[in-house]
Amino acid sequence: MSKDMGYDSVMSRRNEIMKKAVGIDYDRFECKGIAFDYEKMMKETGYTLEEIKEIQGATGVGNTPLLEMKNLTNLARRIAGKGKGARIFIKDEASNPSGSFKARRAANAVYHAKKNGYKGVIAATSGNYGAAVASQAAIHGLKCIIVQECYDSKGKGQPEIIEKARKCEAYGAEVVQLTVGPELFYTFLRLLEETGYFNASLYTPFGIAGVETLGYELSMEMREMIGRDPDVVVCTNAGGGNLTGTARGLIKASAVDTKVVGASVNLKGLHMASDEQFNKKSFTTGHTGFGIPFATWPDRSDVPRSAARPLRYMDRYVTVTQGEVFYMTEALAQLEGLERGPAGNTSLAAAFSLAQEMDEDQIIIAQETEYTGAGKHIQPQLSFARENGIEIVFGNPRDEVPGKNIIFPEHPRLIKAVDLDLEKIRQSYIKNCIELNDISEVNPEDLEFLAADTKSDIDFIKKTLDKQNTRQSPL
């Protein structure tokens, strides 16, 4: 008798489908209440850092160049006060086979799928990860399906997403394109069940561990170049895996004094699941529409427990505007001779601003770049914005209103990273942990977990719980 493939029936089998498609029994890591054993789960990757480096190296992934941006540094110093203006470096992840750092995640996940006998892999992504999975699947001889949210209800697709579909298809993947809405996850689950393919999720331990090599390389390369670790590493932040993996790699390199900063494009006011607002944004990743929700509730992903937990590692969280990132993308091309995709330059725009706060002898790294071309290039994105009623002007980026205008800075001194309140974000995460787990009383094990998961301490957790009127069980 065939299974019922209707929406409600498929969604009711979610946990069963996911467990089979990922090969991890997440129940093994659960504790009573809120807590789970995160580090034990991460060890489920089954690979050491050295093994992951070997896996990635076999397909040309990793060991990407670390480049000093001398002209951008000089520009930052002209704007900054006397003695200020840290040296700016970028990690050129566009050198990976698929053109982004996500090749690191995909290399590990696809290798694991093949090792465990899966005939194919599936990923639900509108971003660079789809191309990375398709590229790695081609190398390993596996089938590949990429599921995308691509169009609004009028059939109008974002040029950046369409470009990524083209790239996936070039690697031989089947691309399933959908309109924005709840059908994405249903279609994803149905395909996993029908095919028996591996869920190459962005949020499994396999994927996050793949990014650890990036953080490790940053430290090793910097030590070789200047004899010490970087002072600050800025990571473009969306779902949190980029920052999490990079930070864990830095820790494994013993770069414990390096500060990790998350950077997102400010898209406040735009709802990512809104059909009307879907095409009002010019960034499909690296923005607050993903960065804030995933920071305050990482387990909203397609696996029971997300391995991407940015609050565990984030020392600071800043936003930049769409206009600032586009401007910095042009500056990178015209001052440094590197044409790279705008989304990957989110961290560079933030680094350019933050460098001006730092001393000249300090080091700041924009942790990744991405390839550009076709729909990912600035011009088609700006043309698409105009078609959707977005005004494009020069002025003060602080006046930018997402969904209404894109404001290029009149002068580079107007590029200013804006701090988000990490304490409030941590408090929101704690509140979600209580409400979404339906917890009436927090036990000592939960307190320890929450302190680790928010990079805070027990005292902060207790004060937050008191404010939220949540009971705490006695020690």
CA distance 353 to 355: 5
Statement: residue 275 has pLDDT above 90: no
Choose the weakest-confidence range: 136-150, 244-258, 275-289: 275-289
The single-letter DSSP state of residue 473 is -
Q: Are strands 363-366 and 174-179 parallel, antiparallel or unpaired?
A: unpaired
The tokens of 354 are what? Answer: 């933050």
Let me know if residue 8 belongs to a domain.
no
Statement: residue 260 has pLDDT above 80: yes
pLDDT tens-digit series, residues 381-413: 999 999 999 999 999 999 999 999 999 999 999
Residues 362 and 442 both lie in one domain: no
Statement: residue 1 has pLDDT above 60: no
Statement: residue 474 has pLDDT above 80: no
Residues 335 and 455 both lie in one domain: no
pLDDT tens-digit series, residues 413-451: 999 999 999 999 999 999 999 999 988 889 999 999 999
Choose the weakest-confidence range: 148-157, 166-175, 335-344, 412-421: 148-157
Residues 316 and 439 both lie in one domain: no
Let me know if residue 281 belongs to a domain.
yes
Q: What is the pLDDT of residue 475?
A: 57
Residues 236 and 334 both lie in one domain: yes
* CATH number of residue 352's parent domain: 3.40.50.1100
The tokens of 248 are what? Answer: 């864990």
Q: Average pLDDT of the chain?
A: 94
Q: What is the mean pLDDT of residues 307-318?
A: 98
Distances in whole angstroms, Cα of residue 360 to Cα of each of 73, 87, 130, 135, 348: 9, 7, 39, 40, 17
Q: What is the pLDDT of residue 72?
A: 98
Residue 474, burial from CB neighbour count under 10 angstroms (0-12, 13-18, 19+): exposed
- From 308, 300, 178, 193, select the one nearest 242 (Cα to Cα): 308
CA distance 381 to 302: 29
Residues 324 and 462 both lie in one domain: no
Residues 82 and 214 both lie in one domain: yes
Residues 324 and 454 both lie in one domain: no
Which range of residues forms the domain containing residue 323? 61-97+206-419
One-character DSSP codes across 3-34: PP-SHHHHHHTHHHHHHHHH---GGGGB-STT
Domain C-terminal end among 419, 443, 459: 419
The alpha carbon of residue 436 and the mean position of all alpha carbons in its chain are separated, in whole angstroms, by 23
The single-letter code of the amino acid at 325 is V
Residues 298 and 332 both lie in one domain: yes
**Total of domains in the chain:** 2
Residues 233 and 367 both lie in one domain: yes
Statement: residue 70 has pLDDT above 80: yes
